Structure 1
Amino acid sequence: MDPLPLLQELIRCPSVTPAEAGALGVLEAALVPLGFTCTRLRFGPPGEEVENLFARRGSRGPHLCFAGHTDVVPPGDLAGWSADPFGAEVRDGVVYGRGATDMKGGIAAWIAAIASLPRDLPGSLSLLITGDEEGPALDGTVKVLDWMARNDHRPDMCLVGEPTSKAALGDTIKIGRRGSLNAEITLHGIQGHSAYPQRADNPVHRLVRVLHRLTAEPLDAGTPWFEPSTLQVTSFDVGNPATNVIPGTARARLNIRFNDLHSSRSLTAHLRAALEAEEARYDLAVSCSGEAFLTEPGPFVEALVAATRAATGREPSLDTGGGTSDARFVAQHCPVAELGAVGATMHKADESTPVAELRALAALYARVIEALLAQEARA
C-alpha cells in the first residue's frame, strides 16, 4: 500500500483543532479492510465534543499501540503558501499541505506499514487517534487511554508518530519529554503616594525580590538524559498608568520546563518558599500541562533502535528535548517512545514532506512493528 493517496485524503480534510472534518472516516475506510474494529469515542461538553478513534486488530498480547492525531493547526496567512494548504498538491516529488508532517503523514505511513505485513503477526495492533492534540488536550488521548484501560485494551507498549527526526529520517527517537508548569503570582501590598513610601507597601519591590530568588540560581544542572530545567518569567504586570502612585498589587507569570528531578508538586513548593520569604500576602495559581517522563533504555527501546538502524542505516540518537506531546499521557499506562518524519516544516506555511521520505517512513514503521511484536512475544 502506498501511503501517499491516504495522506492526500487526510490533508484534504480541513481538520483544524477540534474539527474532525471527515479525517476519522478516511481512517476507518482504510483500517476496516485490514481487519481492524473501529470505535468512535466522543468526549467533552455537550455540543463541543472532541471526536477520537480507537481501532484494534487482534486480542492477544503483546499489544502494540500507535498514537497520533488528525487535528492540525490553522494554516495562517494564505499568502505565505505556494499551494492550497488543504489541497495535498504534489510538486517535484513533494506533497504540500497542513498536516503533511505533523502528523497525518505519520498516520498514513503507519497504516501503509500494516498493510505491507502479514496478518498473522504475533499479538495485536491498535491505533489511538485523537482530534485535540494541538488544542487543550483535555478530551482526547488522556480520556481515550482511560477508556482503553476500562475496556481491557491497555497496551504493552506504544509508539507516538510525532515528527521527531531532525535532519534525516530516523536520526532521532524521543524516549522522554520535559514537564511544563505555568504559574501566575499576584503579590499584594498597600497602595499609596510615591512621595510618602513609608505610608505604603510597594508590591513591585517585593515581587522583584521574589523573581530574583527564583532566577538567581539554576534549578539543576541536568541529568544524563535531560538538559537542565529552566524557569522563564514571561510577564510582569502592574497595570498602573500613574507616575506618582505606588500600586496595590503586582503580578508576574512564568513557565518552568523541568526534567525528571522535579515534579509539579515539588516546583509548586519551591515557588511558595520564595514567596513566603517575603512575608507578604500573595496568590499563586499553578497549572501543569504534563509531568516529565523517561522511558529507560531496555528491550523496548533497544528493539526500536535496532529496527531504525536496519531500515535507515543510521544510528538514532535518544532524545528528550522539545515541548510536550501526548506521549506524556501514554507514559502513565505503558512504555512509550516517539519516532516520525523530519519535522523541519511542521506548523509552517508550505508544510510538506517528500514523497520518497513518506514511503521510507512506511518501510521503517514496518520494521518497527515486526521488531517490537517479536521482541515482546519472546519476552
Structure 2
Amino acid sequence: MQTTDSPTLELAVDLIRRQSVTPDDAGCQELMMSRLAPLGFTGENLRFGDTDILWARKGSEGPVLAFAGHTDVVPTGPEKNWSHPPFDPVIRDGYLLGRGAADMKGSLAAFVTACERFVASYPDHRGSIALLITSDEEGPAQHGTVKVVETLEARNEKIDWCLIGEPSSTREVGDVIKNGRRGSLHGYLTVHGVQGHVAYPHLAENPVHLVAPALDALAKEFWDNGNDFFPPTTFQITKLE
C-alpha cells in the first residue's frame, strides 16, 4: 500500500486492514477513539449480545449532531475471486480497493478527520458532536443502533441531527445526498408439511411447494407508489431453509 497525503485515506486503510466481519469489530472502534480522545471526546463502550458499540461525545449541551455508522463488513466470500486480498487495501486507478472501503470504512475515516478539522478550527464550539458506531449493521442488526437509542432515551440524551455515512452515490462519490432512509419490516414464516420420500410424493406434503405460490403472490403485490424521496415499497425474500 503506497503512502498518501490524505489523513482520511490513511485512516480508511488502517480500518480496512482490521478484519471486522460482522459482528466482530476487530479493534476498529478502539482505533477511532484513539483519534477522538485527544480532541476532547469521551468514549463509552457498550456491548449488547455479540455487538460492540462506541458512543463518543464532545460537549455536554445540545443540540447534538451525531455521525452514525458501522465497523462490520460482510464476509468476503472465496478470496480467490478477489483481484487483491480483501483486507490488504490498495489504491488502483484512483480507487481504494478493499472490503468495506465504500460500506463503510471510508465514511468512518471521514467522520474522524472531519471532527479533527472542525475542533481545530472551533475548539470552543457550541452544542455537542457525537459518533454512534456499531458492529452489527451487516447482520441481524438487533443489538446495535436500536439498543443505543434506547440507552440514550433512558438517560434523557437526545440526538438532534444525524448524518449517516452509508454510500448513496449513483455515478460519482458525493453526487447524491439523501434526506432520510426508508424503514423495513422483517418477518419469519414457518410452513409445516408432511415428511415423506421423493419417490412417493402423494404420501407427503412438501412445504416448499406449499409456500411457493404464496411467496410469488407476495412478491408481486402492489404496496404503494413511494413518494418524491423514496421508491415504492417492495417485498423481498432473503432466505429459505
Q: Under TM normalisation by the shorter chain, which class is it? A: 0.7 to 0.9
Give the Cα–Cα distance (whole angstroms) in 2 for the partners of residues 17 and 234 of structure 1. Answer: 17
Q: Corresponding residue for 1:241?
A: none
Give the Cα–Cα distance (whole angstroms) in 1 for the partners of residues 176 and 227 of structure 2. Answer: 19
Give the Cα–Cα distance (whole angstroms) in 2 for the partners of residues 173 and 217 of structure 1. Answer: 30
Give the Cα–Cα distance (whole angstroms) in 2 for the partners of residues 54 and 125 of structure 1. Answer: 11
Give the Cα–Cα distance (whole angstroms) in 1 for the partners of residues 108 and 212 of structure 2. Answer: 48
1:84 Cα deviation after fit: 2.4
- Identity in percent: 45
**1:212-258 CA distance string (max 9 Å, x none):** 875675233444444333345678xxxxxxxxxxxxxxxxx7xxxxx
Q: Corresponding residue for 2:40?
A: 35
2:18 alignment partner, SS class: coil
Give the Cα–Cα distance (whole angstroms) in 2 for the partners of residues 138 and 209 of structure 1. Answer: 30
Using the size of structure 2 for normalisation, the TM-score is: 0.79
1:110 Cα deviation after fit: 1.4
Tell me, yes or no, if the aligned pair for 1:50 and 1:132 is still in contact at 8 Å.
Answer: yes
Tell me, yes or no, if the aligned pair for 1:128 and 1:141 is still in contact at 8 Å.
Answer: yes
Root-mean-square deviation (Å):
3.1
Aligned length: 223
1:51 alignment partner, SS class: strand
Q: What amino acid is aligned across from residue 152 of structure 2 in structure 1? A: M
More relative contact order in 1 or in 2 (CA 8 Å, sep 6+)? Answer: 1
Q: Any unmatched runs of 5+ in structure 2?
A: 1-5, 197-201
**1:98-121 CA distance string (max 9 Å, x none):** 111110100101111111122232
After superposition, the Cα gap between the structure-2 partners of 1:80 and 1:56, relative to the gap in structure 1 and judged at 3 Å, is same
**1:23-48 CA distance string (max 9 Å, x none):** 1111111111111011111111xxxx
Give the Cα–Cα distance (whole angstroms) in 2 for the partners of residues 97 and 166 of structure 1. Answer: 20
After superposition, the Cα gap between the structure-2 partners of 1:233 and 1:5, relative to the gap in structure 1 and judged at 3 Å, is closer
Question: Is the radius of gyration larger for structure 1 or structure 2?
Answer: 1
After superposition, the Cα gap between the structure-2 partners of 1:228 and 1:120, relative to the gap in structure 1 and judged at 3 Å, is same
Give the Cα–Cα distance (whole angstroms) in 1 for the partners of residues 91 and 117 of structure 2. Answer: 23
Give the Cα–Cα distance (whole angstroms) in 1 for the partners of residues 214 and 92 of structure 2. Answer: 55
1:81 maps to 2:82 = yes
Q: Any unmatched runs of 5+ in structure 1?
A: 192-196, 236-252, 254-379
Give the Cα–Cα distance (whole angstroms) in 1 for the partners of residues 94 and 79 of structure 2. Answer: 22
Aligned pair partner of 2:158 in 154, 157, 168: 154
1:82 Cα deviation after fit: 2.5
Q: What amino acid is aligned across from residue 125 of structure 1 in structure 2? A: I
